[in-house]
A and B are shown apart, each in its own frame.
Chain A
């Protein structure tokens, strides 16, 4: 079983704070790294698909970077809002198409 680790497990921030999380994954058999956002009572939704070393993706206040050589990806949220409260999952995709998810980082943004 591949080891995909996310840290921290949970995070509580004030509205307006910027924050970041980490996803660590194996550096071999890499094809892609996905980030998903999972809100309570909803289904996970894709944020980013990252495939190239050095990739940087941005969607509004959320951005992500990828380092495949050292096996990590960072997710950044600038100026957190209460609606950003969710669990953020990363998924490591091998070149055989198998996906392994981390346990997620649960973000709570207090107004």
Chain B
């Protein structure tokens, strides 16, 4: 089945630790996105990538890093510089940068 997967479903981070959230798609989409959702708020764009080996900062990129070495993968690292990482993280992809986005199931990150 074609789709977009995220792992893990839940992730726990200790103080000062970097953690990486996985996002994989087999839809052959060029564009991929990372969003963060906090309670009572909508989706805020962290990073997006329109093509392999290229990515741009979204509205809340500080404390996060990404890579796009393969078309199907767009991992997000939450660094120790992100002081308030507890949130729900959604990954999405689209066939091109302007098209409908397809979302993964999300990862909930909690701080121990």
Measured CB to CB, the residues of A under 8 A from B are 1, 6, 31-32, 34, 36, 43-46, 49, 89, 91, 93, 97-104
**Interface SS of chain A: helix, strand, loop or mixed?**
strand
Query: What residue in chain B is nearest A106 (Cβ atoms)?
Result: B40
Given contacts A89-B42, A89-B43, A103-B41, contact A97 B31 (CB under 8 A): yes
- Please, how many angstroms separate the alpha-carbon atoms of A89 and B31 in the complex? 20
A99 to B100, CA, bound (A): 11
Could you tell me which B residues sit within 8 Å of A by CB distance? 31, 33, 35, 40-45, 48, 50, 56, 58-59, 90, 97-106
For this complex, 22 residue pairs linking A to B, each with C-beta atoms less than 8 Å apart, are A6-B42, A32-B98, A34-B100, A43-B105, A44-B101, A45-B103, A46-B100, A46-B102, A49-B99, A49-B100, A91-B101, A97-B31, A97-B48, A97-B97, A97-B98, A99-B33, A99-B45, A100-B45, A101-B35, A101-B44, A103-B41, A104-B42
| A98 with B58: CB separation less than 8 A | yes
A46–B94 CA distance with the chains assembled, in angstroms: 11
* Bound CA–CA A43/B90 (angstroms): 9
| A88 to B41 alpha-carbon distance, docked (Å) | 12
Residue pair B99, A98 in contact (C-beta under 8 Å) = no
Decide if B105 touches A93 in the complex (CB within 8 Å).
Answer: no
Going nearest first, the 5 A-B pairs with the smallest beta carbon separation are A97-B97, A103-B42, A43-B103, A46-B100, A101-B43
**Which B residues touch A43, using CB under 8 A?**
90, 103-106
**Contacts A34-B101, A49-B100 known; 18 new A-B pairs at CB < 8 A:** A6-B42, A32-B98, A36-B101, A43-B104, A43-B105, A43-B106, A46-B100, A49-B99, A89-B43, A97-B48, A98-B45, A98-B56, A99-B33, A100-B45, A100-B59, A101-B35, A103-B40, A103-B42
